[in-house]
Amino acid sequence: MTVTAPAPNAPTHAKSDTLLDFSNVEMTFPDGTIALQGVDLVVKRGEFVTVVGPSGCGKSTLLRIASGLETASDGTVALGTDRIGYVFQDATLLPWRNVTANVELLAELHGESKKDRAAKAKDAIDLVGLKGFEKHLPKALSGGMKMRASLARSLTLDPELFLFDEPFGALDEITRERLNDELIRLFNAKQFAGLFITHSVSEAVYMSTKVVVMSGRPGKIVETFDVPFPQPRDPEIRFTPEYAALVGEVAHALRKGHGHS
Amino acid sequence: MTTISNEKTVTDGTDELEAHPTPGLAVTATVAKPTSRKRRRTTWLPPLIVFLVIVAVWYLISLFVLNPNLRFLLPLPQDIVLKGFIDPLSFNALIVALWQTVIVSMLGLAIAIVIGVVWAIAMSQAKWIERSLFPYAVILQCIPILALVPLIGFWFGYEFQSRVLVCVMIALFPMVNNTLFGLQSVDKGHRELFKLQGASRFTTLSKLSFPAALPAIFAGMRISAGLAVVGAIVGDQFFRRGTPGLGILISNYSSRLQGEQLFATIITAALFGVLVFWLFGLLGRRAVGTWYDFS
């Protein structure tokens, strides 16, 4: 596998920039499990790509390869940036640090000055709506608020490519929908490219510019849908027949891929 | 091995908070404290009753079961207080011995904590180091320290340093084991978070593994503290030169059949052990109690 680092003087604002390029990526685990097979996937600036698939189809593996946590067994992975945000399934906040200290962590790991990271943390906390909770420890936060803090932490990196590994999967429906809206707002404000993993079809269609459907074992891309609705998304879109139709199509592709047709 | 779950979901499902993440809104999420007056009384009342029952049985045995000639086997409680604690001669001896035991055990404990934590950190850095060194921690735990005591006497003499050494050997294993366990049970997601940022080994240790291991380290300290007190008293029984500690006092009083003083010394040693256990529990709660349920 080759990871192409961005050229030092590469333009960082051109709309056509490819931030992630998977070409024929395969992943076979040492025990012989084939997690991914022949995956081609491109994420460009301005795109919010969502991958839906059944549990265990290798969606998370896809993300782990993109982030460099794992190395693909075959194929090429090219990255167009080194500013990559990664939001885990769990909030992964350090329980002994309060919200501010948690949000400051990544800048701290990169050796930034106290003043810089405090400023970054303050901005990020404001952005995710956690103002007033700076001194709270994670255990005093609800699941949704922990996720907000986790998002804020990644935002301090000012990522060009944002990877989300089912971040809202453990949250209740109402909290999840609210965070979907927040994330869309952030996407439009910050102009990062998003690669979002989920098993919720409606979440996928609502948030993304492109929905990629994967089948299970081995994980393959079975179909890709462009989502035509304009960004920023109007929450009311969820109640239109066009939205329902697209959700139906994606769900159908998902069932087909899963062998339930 | 003690199992400690690192992740405590304390306020899961408190999503009424989620409803007001508005800036400036002062929503304080406090966990209800179970310290009502009633609850507190019920925690000390039952042990107190048990204590009174024990004292009553004690009096019964001492007064009615034992032949007065044999009363040194179980002296009357008031005699223990009067002759063992209040009598100036006994009191002075007790204080000097207690102080000696405090010094020996706490110095031994401090050394055991340092060695134990360093040893565990070394083992946490590479599997091969762990494989090379952990068996020796286990062996240290398995060999009866008493069997080694004569050797320690030969090599290091029969005074202060040998007593401290016995404390260190007895108190070391829980420190090594707990610290290693704590360092190794760091959440996988947290590890990956650090890995993604390219954090160095040292940064990961100082900002992640070590703080995450603190609850386990403090739990180990509390166990080791109790053991260090045991070590100081056991060491005294064998190394009889230098200033006597509680252990020497115990063996002197028992050989002279001074029951009252013997009991007073044993009670002092026991209370010291309890105090140390409690103090280190308090220390642990102070250090990590805000984010970890240290009990």
How far, in Å, CA of A58 to CA of A40, rounded? 14
CB contact under 8 A, A96 and B288: yes
Q: Is A121 exposed, middle or buried (0-12, 13-18, 19+ CB in 10 A)?
A: buried
How far, in Å, CA of A73 to CA of B139, rounded? 43
Q: Which of B166, B168, B173 is nearest to B234 (CA)?
A: B166
Domain of residue B104: give its range. Answer: 75-288
CB contact under 8 A, B196 and A137: no
In this predicted model, what pLDDT tens digit does every residue of A224-254 receive, in sequence order? 999 988 878 888 888 999 999 999 999 999 8
Provide, as residue numbers in chain A, all residues whose Cβ is less than 8 Å from the Cβ of B30: 140
> Does B52 reside within a domain?
no
From A126, A139, A145, residue closest to B17, measured CB to CB: A145
CB contact under 8 A, B11 and A141: yes
Task: Look at residue B263 in the predicted model and tell me its pLDDT.
Answer: 94
Q: Domain residues of chain A, as ranges?
A: 18-83+159-257, 97-158
Task: Look at residue A153 in the predicted model and tell me its pLDDT.
Answer: 95
Range list of β-strands (E), B166-239: none
From A108, A142, A148, residue closest to B15, measured CB to CB: A142
For residue A198, the cross-strand partners are: A52
Provide, as residue numbers in chain A, all residues whose Cβ is less than 8 Å from the Cβ of B26: 132
Provide, as residue numbers in chain A, all residues whose Cβ is less than 8 Å from the Cβ of B13: 142-143
Does residue A11 have a cis bond before it (omega within 30 degrees)?
no
Provide the shortest C-alpha distance from residue B29 to chain A (in Å): 6
Secondary structure of chain B: what % helix, strand, coil (to 5)?
A: 75, 0, 25
Task: Look at residue B190 in the predicted model and tell me its pLDDT.
Answer: 95
> Does B158 reside within a domain?
yes
We report the CATH number of the domain holding residue B269 as 1.10.3720.10
From A86, A108, A129, residue closest to B196, measured CB to CB: A86
> Does B56 reside within a domain?
no
- Inter-residue contact A179 to A171 (CB < 8 Å): yes
Task: Look at residue A228 in the predicted model and tell me its pLDDT.
Answer: 87
Q: Which residue of A has its CA nearest to B22?
A: A129
> Does B31 reside within a domain?
no
Provide, as residue numbers in chain B, all residues whose Cβ is less than 8 Å from the Cβ of A88: 189, 192-193
Task: Look at residue A151 in the predicted model and tell me its pLDDT.
Answer: 92
How far, in Å, CA of B66 to CA of B78, rounded? 16
- Inter-residue contact A56 to A45 (CB < 8 Å): no
> Does B49 reside within a domain?
no
What are the tokens at B291? 């984010």
Sequence-distant contacts of B286-294: CB under 8 A, at least 24 apart? B287/B214, B287/B218, B288/A96, B288/B214, B288/B215, B288/B218, B290/A96, B290/A137, B291/A95, B291/A96, B291/A137, B291/A138, B291/A139, B292/A95, B292/A96, B292/B8, B292/B214, B292/B215, B293/B8, B294/B215, B294/B218, B294/B219
Provide the shortest C-alpha distance from residue B263 to chain A (in Å): 45
Provide, as residue numbers in chain A, all residues whose Cβ is less than 8 Å from the Cβ of B284: none
Q: Looking at the domain A18-83+159-257, which fold is it? A: Rossmann fold (3.40.50)
Identify residues of A whose CB sits under 8 angstroms from chain B CBs.
67-69, 84, 86, 88-90, 92, 94-96, 105-106, 108-110, 126, 129-133, 136-145, 148, 172, 174-175, 178
> Does B142 reside within a domain?
yes
Per-residue pLDDT tens listing for chain B (295 residues): 344 444 433 344 334 344 444 444 333 444 444 455 566 667 888 889 999 999 999 999 988 888 888 888 888 888 889 988 999 999 999 999 999 999 999 999 999 999 999 999 999 999 999 999 999 989 988 888 888 888 898 999 888 899 999 999 999 999 999 999 999 999 999 999 999 999 999 999 999 999 999 999 999 999 999 999 999 998 888 888 888 899 999 999 999 988 899 999 999 999 999 999 999 999 999 999 889 987 7
Q: Which of A126, A92, A5 is nearest to B188 (CA)?
A: A92
CB contact under 8 A, B291 and A172: no
Q: Which residue of A has its CA nearest to B210?
A: A96
What contacts B288, CB < 8 A, 6 or more positions away?
Answer: A96, B214, B215, B218, B294
Q: How do A220-226 and A210-215 pair as beta strands?
A: antiparallel
More confident residue, A54 or B56: B56
Total domain count, chain B: 1
In this predicted model, what pLDDT tens digit does every residue of A130-157 receive, in sequence order? 999 999 999 999 989 999 999 999 999 9
Q: Which of A183, A206, A214, A194 is nearest to A25 (CA)?
A: A214
What Rg value do the Cα atoms of chain A yield, rounded? 18
- Inter-residue contact B57 to B66 (CB < 8 Å): no
